[in-house]
Amino acid sequence: MKQYGFHFDATRCTGCKTCVVACCDKNGLEDGRQFRHVLAYENGGWRQDRMTGAWHQDVTHGYVSVSCNHCDDPACVKVCPTKAHAKHDDKGGLVLIDPAKCIGCGMCAKACPYGAPVLDEKAHKMTKCDACVDRVVKGELPVCVAACPQRALDFGYVDDLKAKYGEGAHIEPLPSPAMTKPNLLVTHGKSAKVVK
């Protein structure tokens, strides 16, 4: 099976959140419900030179745009009591929610280390990024990727993304990839702290 995934380039992201706005607009999401998040991170600190008393810093910061990573070992699928969450091999390995089966219990949200599933309070159903599967089947990119003004996001088959961008890395503030084996490749800048 060919697996879909996202690529994120931390050297290009300015934290503008255009990806978040485009996703919310396309999916008609109300305030407080987002399928994509832009997280800020900081590294480094200050130190004082013992000889001169001067202060030096190596503080850096950056952003990470993250949504559902359509993981190879999705925590949401494992804990869903009604099997509403499923990994679809026929749709490029996307992890999708069947609203007819979902009871809105929130177990998936508690299990997901990326905070991807969110409750639709009106429908009492869990919702999350579906990689704009309606667009992907027509050969279009997910709306977050298409909207990014800095081209910090890309989407495609993981093997193709690796050929284009390399193996990638996982960076803070993201959890260790060993938890769920996410299909997210990250190009990191020197300000990022790489997670092993």
Rounded Cα distance, 26 and 142, in Å: 10
| 157 within a domain of the structure (yes/no) | yes
**Residue 52, domain member (yes or no):** no
How much is the average pLDDT of 66-74? 97
138 lies in a domain? yes
Q: Is the pLDDT of residue 193 over 80?
A: no
State yes or no: pLDDT of 194 exceeds 70. no
116: CATH: 3.30.70.20
Q: Is pLDDT above 90 for 59?
A: no
**pLDDT per residue over 108-137, tens digit each?**
999 999 999 999 999 999 999 999 999 999
Residue 55 lies in a domain: no
- Tell the burial category of 135 from Cβ atoms under 10 Å away from its Cβ (0-12, 13-18, 19+): middle
Q: How many domains does the chain have?
A: 1
Residue 138: C-alpha distances to residues 5, 7, 158, 183 (Å):
17, 20, 19, 21
| Residue 49 included in any domain | no
Give the confidence band of 189 by pLDDT, cuts at 50, 70, 90: low
pTM: 0.89
Question: Alpha helices of 116-195 — where are they, by DSSP H?
Answer: 133-136, 143-147, 158-165
Asked whether residue 50 is assigned to any structural domain, the reply reads no
Least confident of 93-97, 132-136, 163-167: 163-167
> Average pLDDT over the chain, rounded to whole?
93
46 occurs within a structural domain: no
- Model pLDDT for residues 142-162, shown as the tens digit of each residue: 999 999 999 999 999 999 999
Q: At residue 62, what are phi and psi to the nearest 5 degrees? A: -170, -170
- Domain of 130 in residue numbering reads as 4-41+63-187
Query: Distances from the Cα of 172 to the Cαs of 39, 44, 107, 178, in angstroms?
Result: 10, 13, 24, 14
Domain membership flag for residue 152:
yes
